[in-house]
Amino acid sequence: MKFDEIINIIFLNKKKYKIISDKDKNDAFYIINKKFSIKYPKIAKFFNNKNIDKASSIDMWFFHFKNINYIPNWYWLKTPFKKDKKNKLSGSDTKKIIEEFDLSDDEFNFLYDNYKDEIEFELKLIKRWEKNKS
């Protein structure tokens, strides 16, 4: 079953929801969650977890929209935001942080994505220390 068929069932043909298999829900999860993130970014972000049961997440979306019997206008909008997770530090600055704290690239990326201000503060301290050292 295609994701657009699932969307039609969620919004328009609620009685048919029982025929959607868990496999179909799992296969369509990413695109459905992304579309619903336009209006409900916090809920979608919560569901966007690699350990989440995708079929149950689709069930939760279905219950969330149980009183809506039409496809809302916001559904047709493009996602209003882009993920900008790129590292804004220069290569040498990234290397300084990685060496100072003995991090892998993945560990650094995780820290930078989640604790950007702290990483930049530590970088300032490292640069200040290097400047005073010379």
Residue 48 corresponds to which tokens in the numbers above? 């966007």
Tokens 């005073």 -> residue: 132
Distance CA 114, CA 104 (A): 15
Residue 103 corresponds to which tokens in the numbers above? 């991090």
Q: How far is CA 54 from CA 4, 26, 29, 68, 92, in A?
A: 17, 5, 6, 22, 40
- Considering the domain architecture, whether residues 72 and 11 belong to the same structural domain is answered as yes
Q: Cα torsion for 67, 65, 18, 47, to the nearest 10°? A: -160
- Considering the domain architecture, whether residues 7 and 66 belong to the same structural domain is answered as yes
Do residues 79 and 34 touch, judged by C-beta distance below 8 A?
Answer: yes
| Minimum mean pLDDT range among 2-16, 24-38, 75-89 | 75-89
Residue at 86 is within a domain: no
Residue at 85 is within a domain: no
Highest mean pLDDT among 58-67, 111-120, 124-133: 58-67
Residue at 70 is within a domain: yes
Count structural domains, the chain: 2
**Residue 42 structural domain:** 3-76
Q: List, for residues 22-64, the tens digit of each pLDDT value.
A: 999 999 999 999 999 999 999 999 999 889 999 999 999 999 9
